[in-house]
Amino acid sequence: MTDLTNMTLAQARDAVRAKSVSSTELTTAFLEAMDKGRGLNAYVAETHDQALAMAKASDARIAKGEIGPLEGLPLGIKDLYATKGVHTQSCSHILNGFKPAYESTVTAQLWRDGAVMLGKLNMDEFAMGSSNETSYYGPVASPWLRQGADKMASRAALAGDKKGLLVPGGSSGGSAAAVAARLCLGATASDTGGSIRQPAAFTGTVGIKPTYGRCSRWGMVAFASSLDQAGPIARTVRDSAIMLRSMAGYDPKDSTSVDRPVPNYEDAIGASVKGKTIGIPREYRIDGMPAEIDALWAKGVQWLRDAGATIVDISLPHTKTALPAYYIVAPAEASSNLARYDGVRYGLRVPGKDIADMYEKTRRAGFGAEVRRRIMIGTYVLSAGYYDAYYVKAQKIRTLIKRDFEQAYADGVDAILTPATPSAAFGIGEKTSADPVEMYLNDVFTVTVNMAGLPGIAVPAGISAEGLPLGLQLIGRPFEEDTLFSLAHVIEQAHGEMKLPEAWWA
Amino acid sequence: MSVDQANVRRIAHLARIAVSDDEVPHLQGELNAMLAFVEELNAVNVEGIEPMTSVIPMRMALRTDVVTDHAGADVVVGNAPISEDHFFVVPKVVE
């Protein structure tokens, strides 16, 4: 049974098509893996019965020859996607008990294509975080251990405060950990400032944030509406291409969704990249960048060059302003989006002496510290007297950031290669110091992409000195996700298969 | 720019989040750390630059004004902490 969980999503899909494995067999194997992997805390809600019912229905369809693109394949779903009748809380206490009466567009499309839901995945609360440590349900342990780590001590630490274990990244920490630990074939995730790409890089998996508007946000618990985007995390570039095809597409219910046909992204796997121009932005070489990240980046350049791409140095002059501008824009939009959580219509209610008292007590009790901080910063920068100085200014800077990319692309660049993260995964509890900004620096390479609305993919490209995965990021032109898949595949092939960690957690 | 304690209380009130007196200094420190981080944007020249209104150029879509959601009142109050006769029950709003 465990062999089944070692297959990639593409291999499982082919096996289902060839009828050499049933959805029920696959689903049962992954439910067992999910049970054994409970210590990692990747899942916050498990849907055993529903999964088996969906698998049974899928097998009935397969018997009739009705085989969808994801037929029978068990997936994990990030907790911010509305899943009908199932726990949907964006890992926050303020949505305590919330079970939506509707299905998000993205997940509805997965079920339309035949996939099976194993459960809801852990994440930073309201997607605010880069380590999955702000979740109401506690941190997620990465399935990766530093070289030489004691496996028995690590397994024991799972039951406690998880000190000494590593973060999977965030906010899609549960998604990344579950994929890397083979607790699902693939997972849905979301990205506002790097929340797909950074955890993918930390866990040796592939994650793509498509162009803003490529996937519908309808039914996704909103964080920052002009930055949020849905995307998959999976084991291989091919797997993520297969998943994105099902997730993407125009939705009239999301007025920011773009009406463009969805290509069969899998066709881009193996396509030649000869003659593609890859930009290397000098501003991404930051002060104090670790030598091994720099070396990884140079290796990536060489691999693309070997595949026939042309490498050019480019300048994205406003790169440094992206992170501070993001920490104005995102909290501002969050303060607006999270105003709806007031204890009236859903979720937690803390009684108060009057309506205002109820609001204040409910929100104090329901939101975690990081969320409260960001709502307050957002409220401040939007408040009278400060709106122009902060929010409008940040939005102008956003225009400049996007313009930098537009200029590079107009000059003939097809994609841009950068590191994905400034380091490998760090320890749980290591960065939750007094300074909230320390955690924010994890997103330095990724936020520019959300600020400009562009597609970005993280692909495993190396191993650190401590034996941990390192990833590279490719940033593409709007709606050219296929180019990203082709280029990422070159890197993936050049590096070779990323050996995922053996199960020490069971 | 930095916030003083009165400002922290004002922001908390705008955000409808209760803060206790002993929380205010710590929160003030955290907010000021974040504001110090974004200070560097003051040096950026944005003369003549338009604020971004849409990250990807798109036309605002309109739809026909018809009812499309037939879920019903039971569903609407289905997740309510307290409801009665399809009303959301709350503490007194108007004096």
Q: What is the pLDDT of residue B8?
A: 96
* Burial class of residue A206, CB neighbours in 10 A (0-12, 13-18, 19+): buried
Chain B residues lying within 8 Å of A359, measured CB to CB: 16
Across B1-95, where does the E strand assignment appear? 83-84, 87-88
Residue A248, in any domain of the structure: yes
Write the CB contacts of A345 (distance below 8 Å, at least 6 apart in sequence). Answer: B77, B79, B80, B88
Paired tokens of A383: 């408040």
**Residues A483, A278 contacting (CB under 8 angstroms):** no
Tell me the CB-side half-sphere exposure of residue A480, using CA atoms within 13 A: 16
What range does the domain containing A105 cover?
A: 2-271+485-495
- Cα separation, B54 vs A227, in Å, equals 10
Beta-carbon separation of B37 and A327 below 8 A: yes
Overall number of domains in chain A: 1
Determine contact: B63 vs chain A, CB below 8 A: yes
* B18, B58, B90: residue with CB nearest A344: B90
Chain A residues lying within 8 Å of B60, measured CB to CB: 255
**Residues A292, A423 contacting (CB under 8 angstroms):** no
Q: What is the dihedral of CA B84, B85, B86, B87, to 10 degrees?
A: -50
pLDDT digits (tens, 9 = 90+) for A389-408: 999 999 999 999 999 999 99
Report phi then psi at A496, rounded to 5: 95, 170
Chain B residues lying within 8 Å of A335, measured CB to CB: 15
Residue A6, in any domain of the structure: yes
DSSP states of A397-426 as a string?
A: HHHHHHHHHHHHHHTT--EEEEES-SSS--
Paired tokens of A9: 């999503």
How far away is chain B from the Cα of A186, in angstroms, using its nearest Cα?
Answer: 28
> pLDDT (tens digit, 0 to 9) for every residue of chain A, 506 residues total?
458 999 999 999 999 999 999 999 999 999 999 999 999 999 999 999 999 999 999 999 999 999 999 999 999 999 999 999 999 999 999 999 999 999 999 999 999 999 999 999 999 999 999 999 999 999 999 999 999 999 999 999 999 889 889 999 999 999 999 999 999 999 999 999 999 999 999 999 999 999 999 999 999 999 999 999 999 999 999 999 999 999 999 999 999 999 999 999 999 999 999 999 999 999 999 888 899 999 999 999 999 999 999 999 999 999 999 999 999 999 999 999 999 999 999 999 999 999 999 999 999 999 999 999 999 999 999 998 899 999 999 999 999 999 999 999 999 999 999 999 999 999 999 987 667 777 788 888 999 999 999 999 999 999 999 999 999 999 999 999 999 999 999 999 999 999 999 999 98
- For the question of residue A58 being annotated catalytic, the response is no
- For the question of residue A361 being annotated catalytic, the response is no
Chain A residues lying within 8 Å of B52, measured CB to CB: 395-396, 398-399, 402
Chain B residues lying within 8 Å of A387, measured CB to CB: none
Residue A303, in any domain of the structure: no
- Of A130, A171, A172, A175, which is the active-site residue? A171
- Cα separation, A368 vs A387, in Å, equals 25
How far away is chain A from the Cα of B40, in angstroms, using its nearest Cα?
Answer: 8
Antiparallel, parallel or unpaired: β A74-78 and A186-191: parallel
Paired tokens of A247: 């997730």
- For the question of residue A253 being annotated catalytic, the response is no
What range does the domain containing B17 cover?
A: 5-43
Chain A residues lying within 8 Å of B1, measured CB to CB: 386, 389
Q: Which residue of A has its CA nearest to B3?
A: A380
Beta-carbon separation of A345 and B79 below 8 A: yes
3-state helix, strand, coil in chain A (%, to 5): 45, 15, 45
How far away is chain B from the Cα of A339, in angstroms, using its nearest Cα?
Answer: 8
Beta-carbon separation of B88 and A345 below 8 A: yes
Q: What is the pLDDT of residue A442?
A: 80
How far away is chain A from the Cα of B55, in angstroms, using its nearest Cα?
Answer: 5
Q: Which residue of B has its CA nearest to A369?
A: B27
Beta-carbon separation of B55 and A451 below 8 A: yes
Residue B89, in any domain of the structure: no
Residue B39, in any domain of the structure: yes
Residue B94, in any domain of the structure: no
- Cα separation, A10 vs A482, in Å, equals 17
Tell me if residue A358 falls in helix, strand or coil: helix
pLDDT digits (tens, 9 = 90+) for B28-86: 999 999 999 999 899 999 999 999 988 888 888 888 999 988 889 999 999 999 999 99
Q: What is the pLDDT of residue A434?
A: 62
Interface predicted TM-score (ipTM) of this complex, two decimals? 0.95
Determine contact: B91 vs chain A, CB below 8 A: yes
Residue B91, in any domain of the structure: no
CA-based radius of gyration for chain B: 22
Residue B21, in any domain of the structure: yes
Give the domain CATH number at A96: 3.90.1300.10
Q: Give the angle subtended at the CA of A318 by the CAs of A314 and A322, to the nearest 5°.
A: 120
Specify the pTM.
0.97
Residue A174, in any domain of the structure: yes
Q: Which of A373, A127, A441, A383 is nearest to B32 (CA)?
A: A373
Whole-number mean pLDDT of chain A? 96
Paired tokens of A49: 């019965």
Q: What is the pLDDT of residue A2?
A: 59
Q: Which residue of B has its CA nearest to A94?
A: B81
Residue A372, in any domain of the structure: no
Overall number of domains in chain B: 1
3-state helix, strand, coil in chain B (%, to 5): 40, 5, 55
How far away is chain A from the Cα of B6, in angstroms, using its nearest Cα?
Answer: 13
Residue with tokens 């004004």: B65
- Cα separation, A357 vs B93, in Å, equals 11
Beta-carbon separation of A376 and B12 below 8 A: yes
**Residues A141, A40 contacting (CB under 8 angstroms):** yes
Write the CB contacts of B59 (distance below 8 Å, at least 6 apart in sequence). Answer: none
